Amino acid sequence: MQITKLPNHEIDAVWFQIKEYVEGAAKYTYGRFTANDIKNGLKRNLNQQLWIAHEDNTIYGFVVTEPLDYPQLRSMIMHFTGGFDLHLWKDDMIQTIQKFSYTIGCDIIESLGRGGWGKVFKDDGFQSRFMFYELPVQEIY
């Protein structure tokens, strides 16, 4: 499986192949992002990276990353992930992002996601540090 960091300005060339995956990832942002928001964000924010997992002419999945500098360390955030047959490309994707993160001086890779990602990442060395929950704000009578 090949993992490629696609130049942000080339997203339109693969959009028809990854749009469904991006829509799936956007669904789990619960109204924060649409697929087009993610696409446009990549085109505007050159600090983000679009990674695709592909073999021959088939794109199996994607990840969007972005480095973030905290006061005491540098992190690579995995913002969005989607695709199919994750078991075929996850290890290669994580290894590639690890190498890239190291070359730009990141100390950690972090990601927020639904609970199922804990099972996916358990053998990769990721540790669950906290759970993220939210309560919608509403008028109280």
Is residue 140, in this structure, part of any structural domain at all?
no
Mean pLDDT of 18-22: 97
Question: How many structural domains compose the chain?
Answer: 1
Question: What does the pLDDT read at residue 139?
Answer: 59
Is residue 24, in this structure, part of any structural domain at all?
yes
Question: What does the pLDDT read at residue 137?
Answer: 47
Strands 74-83 and 58-69: antiparallel
- Contact by Cβ (8 Å): 124, 86: no
What CATH number has the domain bearing residue 48? Answer: 3.40.630.30
Range of the domain at 6: 2-124
Is residue 129, in this structure, part of any structural domain at all?
no
pTM (two decimals): 0.84
Is residue 135, in this structure, part of any structural domain at all?
no
Strands 74-83 and 108-110: parallel
Q: With pLDDT > 90 as the criterion, what percentage of the chain qualifies?
A: 66
Q: For the segment 49-73, what is each residue's pLDDT rounded down to a tens digit?
A: 999 999 999 999 999 999 999 999 9
Q: How far apart (Å, rounded) are the C-alpha atoms in residues 53 and 131? A: 28
